[in-house]
Amino acid sequence: MDMDAFNDDFKVTSKGKHKSYEIDYESLTQGAVEKLMQADIEHISGIFGVDENTASLLLRYMNWNKERLIEKYMDNAASVTSSAGISPLEPPTSQSQAPIRSSIEAFVCPICFDDSQTKTLCLSCDHTFCASCWIAYATSKIRDDQEMAIRCMAEGCSLVAPDLFVRSILEEDTTTWDRFRELVIRHFVASNPNLKYCPYPSCTHTVSCPSASSKSSLATVVPTVACGASATHKFCFGCPIDGDHRPVICGVAKMWLKKCRDDSETANWIKSNTKECSKCQSTIEKNGGCNHMTCKKCKHEFCWVCMGPWIEHGTAWYSCNRYDEKDGVDARDAQSKSRASLERYLHYYNRWANHEQSAKLSIELYSKTEKKMEEMQITSDLTWIEVQFMKKAVDEVEKCRMTLKWTYAMAYYLDKGNEKELFEDNQRDLERAVEDLSELLESPIEAENIPTLRQKVTDKTVYVQKRNEIVLEDTANGFLEGRWQWNCSVDGFD
């Protein structure tokens, strides 16, 4: 069996078709971004009739906003040029250190106090320092401070070194020069709402996704993107979540994560250790003593065991046998109502957390299985390709569990109604399929049963993939059609 036929087993829809839960984006290398930047610089350089170094500094000063720069520059070119650190506020006076270059013997660098330096440098402000101080200074600014504006070292001087100058002093240190260029590019990317830097450590790719650049667009699309460096560099263009939070939109995902951070641990503890006062609903922890409780807040006296008023217990200390008393039932009803919202949250939270945990476990399981299968490949006559079907299945299970995980966050905030029921039906179908496949993956592997297991797993994987598509597609369409109703206010919805 060749590789293509193997892949065909898992193919569900034809390639190239744009799915409603996917977004158009483009991954750019650092070089490509540099080209975009260069185009802006050349544009400004052409309009203003200045050299590219100057144009670049002007653009950086204005956070790469060309329109605003043009407007301000046309208004008062001199003031923009000096605030951008290109020309000195006042022209250098004649008594400055300018002539020192010609009489190098007399020059003592005011920073290192060295009089043996033969190479000195200065910007157009004529504040002269020795070359080695400039190098040390620029390196320290770039490497320690992540700073791309290398200002003149003189106190109070706001002149910024143009790229050509930085380049010349870092001639021998290409790593620092590369870092400098990266800082400039990062600034360019950060200033442009259509661009986002890949958040993975030491990755230098950028993603361009104009259709998710506005805040309002994030109410209808989930811009999950991946940079060109690696398919695992998946992130959300709209929010700082690393990874894929489809099918829920950024606003809901953010709300849910915040709720989980604030509540989960505390909620579990409250649920197992406290009860509410049957009169004022304050949460009470019983940390010892008898069952005769007196609420600190409303002074209501009640029995911890049956929650009824203490008055009905008379002198029956420590023995509560009044379970059926009407007041006790009422009190428990009131309490169960206030518990209901907590229970509801925990219902969704536990499932959310469970899918995350299960996804981790199936990956662990797979690494064990993989070893076994590779051993089998050596001991039996199975080919490499024939023992690889598990990998596909585990990947799919993990992917679907992530979808399922987020559907619980979505369901928590969805308003009751037909739409929610349909959503939960889709969720249930996917969940059931994923659980079945998960179970199959755990079945014992023997050389004899591999062909049947392979068939079963492959079939199930295709089915799971289909169910996942349905959930993603239907939810995405729902956002586009404005079908989802929330039970609280969500960013971007009225």
Partner 1 sequence: MDARRRRVMKEIADCKNDKSSNIRIDMIDDSPFHLNGSFPGPEDTPYQGGHFEVDIVIPPTYPFQPVKMKFITKVYHPNVSSASGAICLDILKDAWSPVLTLKSTLISLQSLLCSPEPNDPQDAEVAKHFTTSKGSFDDTARYWTQIYAVDPSARGKSSEKLQSAGDEVAMAGLEKAHVDQFEALGFERGKVIDALRRLNYRGANVANITEDRIVEELLK
Residues in contact with partner 1 by the rule CB under 8 A: 110-114, 129, 132-133, 136-137, 140-141, 144-145, 153-157
- Residue 63 CA to residue 77 CA, distance in Å, equals 17
- Nearer of residues 106 and 231 to partner 1, judged by Cβ: 106
Distance of CA 201 to the CA centre of its chain: 13
Instruction: Please report which helix (H) or strand (E) contains residue 285, including its range.
Output: strand 283-285
Q: How far is the CB of 187 from partner 1 (least distance, A)?
A: 17
Min CB(111)–partner 1 separation in Å:
5
In the complex, minimum distance from the CB of residue 64 to partner 1, in angstroms, rounded to a whole number: 23
Residues in the chain: 494
**Least CB distance from residue 121 to partner 1, whole Å?**
14
Backbone angles phi, psi at 231, to 5 degrees: -65, -20
Strand, coil or helix: what is 341? Answer: helix
Helix H or strand E encompassing 64: none
Nearer to partner 1, 153 or 373 (CB): 153
Let me know: does 297 contact 282? Beta carbons within 8 Å.
yes
The residue from 109, 277, 290, 303 that is catalytic is 290
- Minimum CB–partner distance for residue 480 and partner 1 (Å): 47
- For 269, other C-beta atoms within 10 Å of its C-beta total 11
Q: Which is nearer to partner 1, 165 or 348 (CB)?
A: 165
Nearer to partner 1, 156 or 314 (CB): 156
The CB-of-155 to partner 1 minimum distance in angstroms stands at 4
What DSSP letter does each residue of 372-424 carry, written as one string?
Answer: HHHHHHHHSS--TGGG-HHHHHHHHHHHHHHHHHHHHHHHHHBPSSHHHHHHH
How far, CA to CA in Å, does 205 sit from each of 147, 170, 209, 238, 432?
20, 24, 13, 17, 38
Q: Which is nearer to partner 1, 133 or 166 (CB)?
A: 133
Nearest to 400 by CA among 366, 364, 429: 429
Indicate if 290 belongs to the active site: yes
CB of 53 to partner 1, least distance (A): 23
Given a contact cutoff of 8 angstroms between Cβ atoms, the answer to whether 12 and 462 are in contact is: yes
Structure tokens at 278: 């049957």
Query: Which is closer to partner 1, CB of 137 or CB of 235?
Result: 137
Please write down the long-range contacts of 381-384, taking CB distance under 8 Å and 24 or more positions apart: 382/447, 382/450, 383/1
Of 60 and 254, the one with the shorter C-beta distance to partner 1 is: 60
Residues designated as active site: 290
